[in-house]
Amino acid sequence: MIPAAFDYARPASLDEALTLLARGAGSAKVLAGGQSLLPLMRLRLASPAKLIDIGRIAELRAIRDLGGGATGIGALATYRDVLDSKLATHNHPILAGAIPGIGDVQVRNRGTLGGAIAHADPASDMPAILLALDASIVIRSGSGERVVGIDGFFQGAFATDLAEDEILTEIRLPATPAGAGMAYCSIEQPASGYSMVGVAAVVGRSDGSISSARVAITGVADVAYRATAVEKALIGSDAGSAAIDAAAAHATDGQEVSSDFNANAEYRAAMAVVHTSRAIEAAFAAAG
Amino acid sequence: MTTDVLGASVKRVEDPRFITGKGRYLDDIKLAGMTYMSILRSPYAHANIRSIDTSAAKAMPGVVLVLTGADVPYNPLPMAWPAGGSSGVVNNINMPRVLATDSVKWTGEGVAAVIAETAAQAVDALEAIVVEWEPLPVVVDAEKATEAGAPQLHENAPNNVVFNWTVGDKAGTDAAVDSAEVVVRQRIVNQRLIPNPMEVRGDIGLYNPGTEEYTVWMSSQTPHIQRLLLTAFVTGIPEHKVRCIAPDVGGAFGTKIFCYADMALVMLASRLTGGRPVKWVETRRENYQSTTHGRDHITYLEIAGTRDGEITGLRVKTYANLGGRLSTIGPGVPTTLYARVLSGCYKIPNVYCEVTGVYTNTTFVDAYRGAGRPEATYVIERAMDLFADEIGMDPAEIRRRNFIAPDKFPYDNPSGLGTAVNGEKIYIDSGNYEPAMDMALKTVGYGSLDKAKTDARSRGKYLGLGLSTYIEVCGVAPSKWIGAVGEGWGAAMWESANLKIHLTGKVVLTMGTQPQGQGHETTFSQIIASELGLPMEDIIVQHSDTQGTPFGYGSYGSRTATVGGEAAVKAAGKIREKARHYAAHMLEASVDDIEVEGNEYRVKGSPEKKKTLQEIAFALDLGFSLPEGMEPYLDETVYHDTTNCTWPFGTHIAVVEIDEETGKVDLVRYVAVDDVGKKINPMIVDGQLHGGIAQGVGQALWEGAVYGDDGQLLSGSMLDYAVPRASWFPNFELGETVTPSPVNPLGVKGVGEAGAIASTAAVANAVMDALSPFGIRHIDMPFTAPKVWRAMHDKEARS
């Protein structure tokens, strides 16, 4: 459990980090909290020639009030930071519900939201939560800054829209739609604690029918995805159990469901439906 | 006066160092000039080795030495316990070599070793070793391995059979089963487990070129036995030239009983490097691949009886997977430690069991907490529930009907423990099973189960309750039985203690036993404090070093208190007796007139004439004035051989709820009433039960070693092997009955394994009870959510 030798740099600023990363040209990896990358290196499943440790760049750790119920979460904000942020958990209560189920205390103290989504583990919880929250991702490189919607960010297992010379700097969460509630429901693989299936739902109601819905699912396919068929079936329907169950039945539409010895595709697909129903019900309950 | 310390829940004297990071484990030891060893392990489950090229590795930075099998002048590891002992059962034995030479039989078998200046350099150099492999066909399932056409692992083991061993009366059992009113048959799997001690294994070898002596530090349960095995069987180095030391050991669960290749490797490597210390500490991944696994039985059971619930016969066939080569006592576990107690606490008149030990391309299997007895308990306790279900009888009632009655002890067990071999028999010496069961039933509220089930249904859950009424065998003994049958280590099973009262009155007890976290330093101090009337803080308990402790067989099989505890009591008795004689000398009285209370030795009728033990020790240890024939010093050694095993028993009850939508099983209540005899420290007993219960529940609900068909260990890390978390358990509701063991004056029976023996079957029976609305009679462990969900849906689809 000893990693292969690597070079290590600890830049003091984002600009310095970007310069080093550009120079690293594909052989360097960015290290944030280290809760995903370091275990892979210890198993020698990853052997980067160089680590650029951005973990102490204070400017990337801030949690900002963007006004009107929107929040900016610095890429290096830890799970613990977010849980401790009244601003973030008040604006987006799904975070308070979901984060205590991620990892363990040590992982939450060191692991960062930015690191989690840049790593893009297909069983990670945060991608589904950010998809449901309709987040935007702020990305910097030597040539400037770009802001992309979360919908196209995850491109496959451990693959994102980030280029090799780019660093994820902030996650922006928009204000919750009026009258909407949100919830995350998952069933964990007991050994790893990762979700076999995790479903995030942000749903709103007006005049007795469902007016908005974003439902996203992790653990089921090789990348977290928006369950758009579920959303479509929900919008305009009443919020009764029958309507929710009918919509949830579409949880894996168009997806190739993953299978491993812990849980086969049949079980994952069934649990996607069950937890989609549960997340939607819980979201309505949370909306009050 | 401190005599009431025995039986008190004294806080553990070891814990301050363990819980503040001041324990000294194997990897904490740093010696000047230390080198580090890393082992190259086979990536194939079955392959021939065509060639190994180490030249590039030898040229790597920091590399001191590279070894392959050809460089090792030692014998293969020893087989200490063949199936059947000396009874003549054929055992087709294949033991691991220190490094494999021609072929590998499982993923993880060691083929080369690098010794380097740093641990990182050793790991880096492993990647530069080039092995030319010839992959061979693989079989991982014990039953399939015996079938025609299966890949063959060893030339001397046709159909991969290690042994065919039987116990019990075949003709009588066949007649009983074949003529019975009711026979229930079931195939059940006791899945393979990875033991997972918190501290992995490791060794340090240090050769002294001046004296040609070796010191080997090892994370071990058995330093004395390892010295014997490594010298007399593996290396040929004389026993007196080797010293084995086990520092603090952070858990073991059986895996650290055995003789491993790495122990010999660090000795060889230290000699070849001119006496530099060589440290090897396995990674967790290596621990999963190349330290012993547990269980892995496929069993066909037939239980026979009458419609009114009298069990008349039990016929069992078991395939025991022993891995690619054998571990030190691998064959002994699924034979004597399993089938000889297969009838449990029941008076089943006819029992017959066949066990086939099998080679497969998997890690070797050996004793794991309970060692054979959990497997036996699982078979009989599932069988009792299956039979009760078949005849429509309450599971508690069928147990009550078939318990061995309290007036039937000593009980001659037909499944074989009492079977005479070379004239020696052992008996179940005591038991009283109904009161323990009644207490457990009362605690759980057995009568109100229907309402609880209805309440659970309203919450989308299926509730189930399961019983496990178990017996346990602790402290395998006596030595004359072991000698007659040739079982166990092939060596005796007595235990030793040395007790010294030093000049200052401080006390050192050295033991041949070897703790792994059980709190021996506390419990033995309690015994000595009670026996000699001394404060616990004046007593230190030492162990774990072949230099300075009397030979002992170590700690496993719940034997330490029952055998070692008695050795300590006897040593204290000898000290007391010598002190009485010396007190008589000091007080100018007759020995017969000296009475002892606590630490005071008084002249009868003249209580003012007295000496304390400390005063006696001071004078006697100086030895200025000695009575005729008395040697100076209060220093006594005892080798104690017990007369029988001990027989704990009890009833465990699990209550589970199963989520109807997900199949997830939650353990919601756990009641355990155990009779472990008298308790030296009730808090430590409770802790042992808690840990054992958690491990047994872990097997039922979450744990399982899974191999792919290619022999790769899919559950190769804690990401895929579910070690239970504390938060998954309810508070355990513990109760007790106390039937003191008649074989030792302490009245203790041993408790290290009881929880793990009982709990797996209790949870399994609870899960089957919960699934009974689906018509499900049996599914195999672990009862993971996907598996239970599938079973519920299969039944729904059919109905």
0.90 exceeded by the pTM? Answer: yes
CB–CB of B720 and A192 under 8 A? yes
Write out chain A residues lying below 8 Å of B785, CB-based: 187, 263, 267
Q: Which one of A44, A104, A105, A189 would you mutate to disrupt binding with B, by most B Cβ within 10 Å of its Cβ?
A: A189
pLDDT of residue B633: 97
The Cα–Cα gap between B375 and B764 comes to 13
Asked if the model's pLDDT at residue B797 lies above 90, the reply is no
pLDDT of residue B2: 42
DSSP-derived 3-state class of residue B453:
helix
* CATH number attached to the domain at B294-477+644-798: 3.30.365.10
- Which backbone phi and psi does B427 adopt, to 5 degrees? -125, 155
pLDDT of residue A120: 95
The Cα–Cα gap between A91 and A71 comes to 7
Amino acid at the residue A111: G
| Burial class for A132, CB neighbours closer than 10 Å (0-12, 13-18, 19+) | buried
CB B534 within 8 Å of CB B7 = no
> CA nearest A195 in B: which residue?
B719
* Across B643-655, average pLDDT: 95
| Burial class for B78, CB neighbours closer than 10 Å (0-12, 13-18, 19+) | middle
DSSP-derived 3-state class of residue A254:
coil
Print burial letters for A275-286: b (CB count within 10 Å at least 16), e (below 16).
Answer: bbbbbbbbbbeb
Cα dist. A56→A6, A78, A108, B254, B618 in Å?
A: 19, 12, 17, 45, 63
CA of A258, closest CA in chain B: separation in Å? 14
CB–CB of B120 and A5 under 8 A? yes
In the sheet with B539-542, reading across from the earlier edge strand, the strands are: B539-542, B507-511, B495-501, B634-640
Facing residue for A191 by CB, picked from B119, B284, B720 = B720
* CATH number attached to the domain at A60-173: 3.30.465.10
Q: Strands B311-323, B294-305: parallel, antiparallel or unpaired by DSSP?
A: antiparallel
Q: Does A107 touch chain B (CB under 8 A)?
A: no
- Which backbone phi and psi does B253 adopt, to 5 degrees? 60, 25
Asked, as a colleague might, if the bond just before A39 is cis with ω within 30 of 0, I would say: no
State the CB neighbour count (10 A cutoff) for residue B25: 17
Torsion angle defined by CA atoms of residues A105, A110, A116 and A118, in that order, rounded to the nearest 10 degrees:
180
pLDDT 10s digits, B374-420: 999 999 999 999 999 999 999 999 999 999 999 999 898 887 665 55
CB–CB of B784 and A190 under 8 A? yes
User: Domain segments of chain A: what residues?
Assistant: 7-51, 60-173, 186-287
Q: Which one of A2, A42, A106, A196 would you mutate to disrupt binding with B, by most B Cβ within 10 Å of its Cβ?
A: A2
CA of A71, closest CA in chain B: separation in Å? 33
Considering only residues B799 and A29, tell me which one the structure prediction assigns the higher pLDDT.
A29
Structure tokens at A269: 């697909």
CB–CB of B662 and A274 under 8 A? yes
Closest Cα to residue A68, out of A150, A173, A200, A180? A173
Torsion angle defined by CA atoms of residues B307, B308, B313 and B319, in that order, rounded to the nearest 10 degrees:
70
Q: What is the CA radius of gyration of chain A?
A: 19
pLDDT 10s digits, B75-131: 999 999 999 888 889 999 999 999 999 999 999 999 999 999 999 999 999 999 999
CB–CB of A267 and B786 under 8 A? yes
In A145-204, the residues whose Cβ lies within 8 Å of chain B are 187, 189-192, 194
In A240-279, the residues whose Cβ lies within 8 Å of chain B are 261-264, 266-267, 270-271, 274
**Among all chains, which residue has been given the structure tokens 């030597």?**
A142
pLDDT 10s digits, B137-166: 999 999 999 999 999 999 999 999 999 999
Q: Strands A144-149, A136-141: parallel, antiparallel or unpaired by DSSP?
A: antiparallel
* CATH number attached to the domain at A186-287: 3.30.390.50
Amino acid at the residue A176: T
DSSP-derived 3-state class of residue A250:
coil
Question: B184's torsion region: left (phi>0), alpha (psi -120 to 50) or beta?
Answer: beta
* CA B198 to mean position of chain CA atoms: 15
CB–CB of A187 and B785 under 8 A? yes
CB A136 within 8 Å of CB A172 = yes
- % residues pLDDT > 90 (chain B): 91
* CA A231 to mean position of chain CA atoms: 19
Q: Does A102 touch chain B (CB under 8 A)?
A: no
Asked if the model's pLDDT at residue A20 lies above 60, the reply is yes
Is it true that B31-136+197-252+256-290 and B294-477+644-798 share their CATH fold? no
Residues in a beta bridge with A184: A200
pLDDT 10s digits, B26-46: 999 999 999 999 999 999 999
DSSP-derived 3-state class of residue A4:
coil
pLDDT 10s digits, A118-155: 999 999 999 999 999 999 999 999 999 999 999 999 99
CB–CB of A187 and B662 under 8 A? yes
pLDDT 10s digits, B559-604: 999 999 999 999 999 999 999 999 999 999 999 999 999 999 999 9
Q: Strands B242-245, B213-218: parallel, antiparallel or unpaired by DSSP?
A: parallel
* Across B466-491, average pLDDT: 85
The DSSP symbol for B365 reads B
Q: Strands B507-511, B495-501: parallel, antiparallel or unpaired by DSSP?
A: antiparallel
Which helix (H) or strand (E) covers residue A242, if one does? helix A241-248
* Across B619-628, average pLDDT: 96
Facing residue for B702 by CB, picked from A2, A190, A264 = A190
pLDDT 10s digits, B683-702: 999 999 999 999 999 999 99
Closest Cα to residue B698, out of B171, B195, B264, B78? B195
CB–CB of A263 and B786 under 8 A? yes
Superfamily of domain B31-136+197-252+256-290: Aldehyde oxidase/xanthine dehydrogenase, a/b hammerhead (3.90.1170.50)
End-to-end CA distance of chain A: 49
pLDDT of residue B471: 95
Query: Which CATH number is correct for B3-17+494-640, 3.10.129.10, 3.30.365.10, 3.90.180.10, 3.40.50.300?
Result: 3.30.365.10
Facing residue for B721 by CB, picked from A187, A191, A264 = A191
The Cα–Cα gap between A282 and A20 comes to 45
Considering only residues B780 and B473, tell me which one the structure prediction assigns the higher pLDDT.
B780
Write out chain B residues lying below 8 Å of A262, CB-based: 720, 784, 786
In the sheet with B182-193, reading across from the earlier edge strand, the strands are: B161-168, B350-359, B311-323, B294-305, B182-193
pLDDT of residue B1: 39
Q: Which one of B713, B789, B792, B793 would you mutate to disrupt binding with A, by most A Cβ within 10 Å of its Cβ?
A: B789
CA of A175, closest CA in chain B: separation in Å? 33
Facing residue for A261 by CB, picked from B124, B706, B789 = B706
- Which backbone phi and psi does A202 adopt, to 5 degrees? -125, 110
pLDDT of residue B429: 87
pLDDT of residue A24: 83
How large is the ipTM? 0.95
Q: In the A/B pair of chains, how many CB contacts fall below 8 A?
A: 50
Structure tokens at B173: 């059992």
Confidence band, pLDDT 50/70/90 cuts, at residue B480: confident
User: What are the start-end ranges of the E strands in B257-365?
Assistant: 278-281, 294-305, 311-323, 350-359
Facing residue for B720 by CB, picked from A1, A5, A262 = A262
The Cα–Cα gap between B762 and B783 comes to 13
Residues of B with CB under 8 A from a CB of A: 119-120, 123-124, 283-285, 661-662, 664, 702, 706, 714-715, 717-723, 728, 784-786, 789-790
CB–CB of B789 and A192 under 8 A? no
pLDDT of residue B796: 63
CB–CB of A2 and B119 under 8 A? yes
Facing residue for A261 by CB, picked from B124, B714, B785 = B714
Closest Cα to residue B531, out of B503, B481, B578, B572? B572
CA of A23, closest CA in chain B: separation in Å? 27
Topology at the third CATH level for domain A7-51: 3.30.43
CB B191 within 8 Å of CB B699 = yes
Structure tokens at B636: 């006594």
The Cα–Cα gap between B307 and B286 comes to 52
The Cα–Cα gap between B348 and A186 comes to 48
Confidence band, pLDDT 50/70/90 cuts, at residue B798: low
CB–CB of B720 and A261 under 8 A? yes
Write out chain B residues lying below 8 Å of A264, CB-based: 786
User: Domain segments of chain B: what residues?
Assistant: 3-17+494-640, 31-136+197-252+256-290, 294-477+644-798
End-to-end CA distance of chain B: 71
Facing residue for A274 by CB, picked from B661, B719, B721 = B661
Which helix (H) or strand (E) covers residue B539, if one does? strand B539-542
pLDDT of residue B418: 57
